[in-house]
Amino acid sequence: MASFRAYYLAARNTWDETLTYRLNFAVWRLRVFLSLISTYFLWLVLLPKGENIAGYNQSSMLTYIVGGGIVYSIVLSTRVAAVSDDIVQGNLSNYLLRPVNYIVYYFFKDFGDKGMNLFFSFFEISLIFILLRPPFYIQTNLLFIFGFFLSIILAIVINFYLNMLLSFVGFFSSEAWAPRFIFFIILGFFSGTIFPLDILPSQIYSFLKLLPFLYLIYFPMKIYLGQIHMQEVFSGLLISLIWSVGLYFITNFLWNKGLHLYSAQGR
Amino acid sequence: MKIKKYIKIWLRYTAGTSQIAFESRTGAAIFIIGKILRFVFFLLFIVVIFSKTKTVAGYSLWQMIFFFLTFNLVDTLPQFLLRDVYRFRGQIINGYFDHTLLKPVSPLFKSLFGGSDIFDFFIMIFLIVMLIIGVEHLGGVSSLNIFLYILLIINAFIIALSFHIFVLCLGILTTEVDNAIMLYRDLTQMGRFPVDIYREPLKSIITFVIPIGIMMTIPAKVMLGVFNIQIIIVSFGIGILIFMLSVLLWRYSLTKYSSASS
Predicted local confidence at residue B190, as pLDDT: 86
Question: For residue A128, what pLDDT band results from cuts at 50, 70 and 90?
Answer: confident
Contact (CB, 8 A) for A231 and A151: no
CB atoms within 10 A of CB A113: 20
Predicted local confidence at residue B182, as pLDDT: 83
Per-residue b/e over A114-127, b at no fewer than 16 CB within 10 Å?
Answer: bbbbeebbeebbee
Predicted local confidence at residue A190, as pLDDT: 92
Query: Residue A205 pLDDT > 80, yes or no?
Result: yes
Closest CA to A148 of A216, A217, A221, A75: A221
Predicted local confidence at residue B109, as pLDDT: 94
Contact (CB, 8 A) for A158 and A245: no
Q: Do B49 and A24 touch (CB under 8 A)?
A: no
Predicted local confidence at residue A31, as pLDDT: 83
Predicted local confidence at residue A225, as pLDDT: 95
Where does residue B184 rank: exposed (0-12), middle (13-18), buried (19+ CB within 10 A)?
A: middle
Identify from A19, A22, A25, A27 which residue to disrupt to test chain B contact, counting B C-beta atoms within 10 A and taking the largest count. Answer: A27
The whole-angstrom distance between B28's CA and the closest CA on chain A is: 8
Contact (CB, 8 A) for A190 and A214: yes
Contact (CB, 8 A) for A208 and A217: no
Largest CA distance in chain A: 63
Distance from C-alpha of A251 to C-alpha of B190, rounded to nearest angstrom: 38
Which residues, 6 or more positions from B251, have their beta carbon under 8 angstroms from its beta carbon? none
The whole-angstrom distance between B36's CA and the closest CA on chain A is: 10
Q: What is the mean pLDDT of residues B232-251?
A: 95
Closest CA to B222 of B165, B121, B146: B146
Predicted local confidence at residue A212, as pLDDT: 96
Q: pLDDT tens digits, residue range B149-193?
A: 999 999 999 999 999 999 999 888 886 556 778 888 888 888 888
Where does residue A31 rank: exposed (0-12), middle (13-18), buried (19+ CB within 10 A)?
A: middle
Q: Do B179 and A201 touch (CB under 8 A)?
A: no
Kindly list the distances between the CA atom of residue A193 and the CA atoms of A36, A76, B60, B190, in Å, as whole numbers in the listed order: 9, 11, 24, 15
Query: Residue B33 pLDDT > 80, yes or no?
Result: yes
Q: What is the mean pLDDT of residues B119-124?
A: 90
Phi-psi group of A107: left, alpha or beta (phi > 0 → left; psi -120 to 50 → alpha; rest → beta): alpha
Which residues, 6 or more positions from B138, have their beta carbon under 8 angstroms from its beta carbon? B62, B63, B66, B223, B224
Q: Do A200 and B48 touch (CB under 8 A)?
A: yes
Identify from A18, A22, A39, A42 which residue to disrupt to test chain B contact, counting B C-beta atoms within 10 A and taking the largest count. Answer: A42
Amino acid identity, position B96: Y
Identify from B52, B120, B123, B170 which residue to disrupt to test chain A contact, counting A C-beta atoms within 10 A and taking the largest count. Answer: B52
| Phi/psi at A53 (5° precision) | -125, 120
Query: Residue A21 pLDDT > 80, yes or no?
Result: no
Report the Cα B71 to chain-centroid distance in Å: 9
Kindly list the distances between the CA atom of residue B58 and the CA atoms of A87, B63, B64, B196, in Å, as whole numbers in the listed order: 52, 10, 10, 10
Average pLDDT, chain B: 88
Q: What is the mean pLDDT of residues A216-226?
A: 96
| Phi/psi at B59 (5° precision) | -100, 145
Predicted local confidence at residue A252, as pLDDT: 95
Which chain B residue lies closest to A24 (C-alpha atoms)? B177
Predicted local confidence at residue B261, as pLDDT: 60
Contact (CB, 8 A) for B160 and A9: no
Q: What is the mean pLDDT of residues A225-238?
A: 94
Contact (CB, 8 A) for A255 and A170: no
Which residues, 6 or more positions from A3, have their beta carbon under 8 angstroms from its beta carbon? none
Residues of A with CB under 8 A from a CB of B: 21, 23-24, 27-28, 30-31, 34-35, 37-38, 41-42, 44-46, 51, 53-54, 175, 177-179, 181-182, 185-186, 188-189, 194-195, 199-201
Q: Do B48 and A201 touch (CB under 8 A)?
A: yes
The whole-angstrom distance between B57's CA and the closest CA on chain A is: 7
The whole-angstrom distance between B30's CA and the closest CA on chain A is: 6
Per-residue b/e over A42-63, b at no fewer than 16 CB within 10 Å?
Answer: bbbebbeeeeebeebbbebbbb
Within 13 Å, how many C-alpha atoms sit on residue A81's CB side?
Answer: 12
Predicted local confidence at residue A267, as pLDDT: 62
Distance from C-alpha of B179 to C-alpha of B187, rounded to nearest angstrom: 12
Q: Do B30 and A201 touch (CB under 8 A)?
A: no
Q: Which residues of A touch B178 (CB under 8 A)?
A: 24
Which residues, 6 or more positions from B96, have their beta carbon under 8 angstroms from its beta carbon? B90
Predicted local confidence at residue B262, as pLDDT: 55
Q: Which residues of B touch A195 (CB under 8 A)?
A: 45, 48
CB atoms within 10 A of CB A203: 8
Q: Do A27 and B180 touch (CB under 8 A)?
A: yes
Report the Cα B81 to chain-centroid distance in Å: 9
- Percent of all residues in chain B with a pLDDT value above 70, rounded to a whole number: 96
CB-CB: which of A21, A38, A195 is closest to B189?
A: A38
pTM: 0.86
Closest CA to B159 of B220, B242, B86, B80: B242
Query: Residue A84 pLDDT > 70, yes or no?
Result: yes
Contact (CB, 8 A) for B197 and A45: yes
The whole-angstrom distance between A27's CA and the closest CA on chain B is: 6
Q: What is the mean pLDDT of residues B57-79?
A: 93
Predicted local confidence at residue B223, as pLDDT: 93
Average pLDDT, chain A: 89
